[in-house]
């Protein structure tokens, strides 16, 4: 029996559709997808954004090269799109947001948008803004959580975050909340 009698099922590197490949090395479902992917890569290369999506990543995240390119054209992203760009789970993306490491805009319940430029900032954050490890003895009376600060001083989440960053206020994560020292916050905001 020659190998051509075997059916090789693969995911198209461009459209992610399942197809029957003739050879193990075939990457695309059709000539159309092949040339479309080639053109897309050329275009992104010109702009200095080469998308290198490995087929195994594609199956896992179910994100096609086209989708990635479309996300990159957008100014405001959904949390799911953020996860695709960072190649992480949606849960992890939410964690970045909740921890205050990734600035976001809350347009209502379950409507969170992230500015694409904020994602780039993730990679250039100063060391002091990173979250301190949990300590054994934590005196809650000396710390505000982010929501308490927002309510007390009527500041937006984004506004507060930039104040925290600008003044290098230390942050401590406890459970789902991020805490900041009362003394520093009162000094800055009152």
Query: Where does this chain bind Zn ion (CB under 5 A)?
Result: 12, 14-15, 29, 33
- Which is closer to Zn ion, CB of 52 or CB of 117? 52
- Which is closer to Zn ion, CB of 37 or CB of 104? 37
- Which is closer to Zn ion, CB of 43 or CB of 121? 43
- Kindly state the smallest distance separating residue 27's Cβ from Zn ion, in Å: 9
One-letter-per-residue 3-state SS of the chain: CCHHHCCEEEECCCCCCEEEECCCCCCCCCHHHHHHHHHHHHHHHHCCCCCCCCHHHHHHHCCCHHHHHHHHHCCEECHHHHHHHHCCCHHHHHHHHHCCCCCCEEEECCEEEEEHHHHHHHHHCCHHHCCECCCCCCCHHHEEEHHHHHHHHCCCHHHHHHHHHHCCCCCEEECCEEEEEHHHHHHHHC
- Kindly state the smallest distance separating residue 78's Cβ from Zn ion, in Å: 25
- Which is closer to Zn ion, CB of 30 or CB of 125? 30
- Kindly state the smallest distance separating residue 190's Cβ from Zn ion, in Å: 59
- Kindly state the smallest distance separating residue 21's Cβ from Zn ion, in Å: 11
- Which is closer to Zn ion, CB of 33 or CB of 102? 33
- Kindly state the smallest distance separating residue 49's Cβ from Zn ion, in Å: 21
């Amino acid at each position: 029996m020659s190998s051509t009698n075997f059916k090789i099922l693969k995911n198209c590197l461009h459209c992610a559709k399942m197809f029957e490949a003739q050879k193990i090395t075939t990457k695309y479902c059709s000539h159309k997808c092949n040339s479309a992917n080639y053109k897309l890569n050329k275009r992104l290369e010109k702009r200095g954004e080469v998308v290198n999506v490995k087929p195994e990543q594609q199956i896992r995240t179910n994100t096609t090269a086209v989708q990635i390119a479309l996300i990159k054209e957008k100014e405001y992203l959904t949390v799911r799109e953020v996860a695709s760009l960072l190649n992480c789970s949606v849960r992890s993306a939410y964690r970045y947001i909740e921890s205050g490491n990734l600035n976001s805009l809350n347009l209502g319940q379950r409507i969170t948008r992230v500015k694409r430029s904020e994602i780039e900032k993730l990679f250039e954050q100063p060391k002091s803004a990173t979250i301190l490890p949990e300590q054994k003895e934590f005196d809650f009376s000396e710390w505000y959580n982010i929501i308490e600060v927002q309510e007390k001083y009527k500041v937006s989440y984004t506004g507060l975050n930039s104040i925290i960053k600008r003044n290098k206020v230390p942050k401590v994560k406890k459970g789902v909340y991020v805490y900041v020292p009362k003394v520093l916050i009162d000094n800055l905001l009152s």
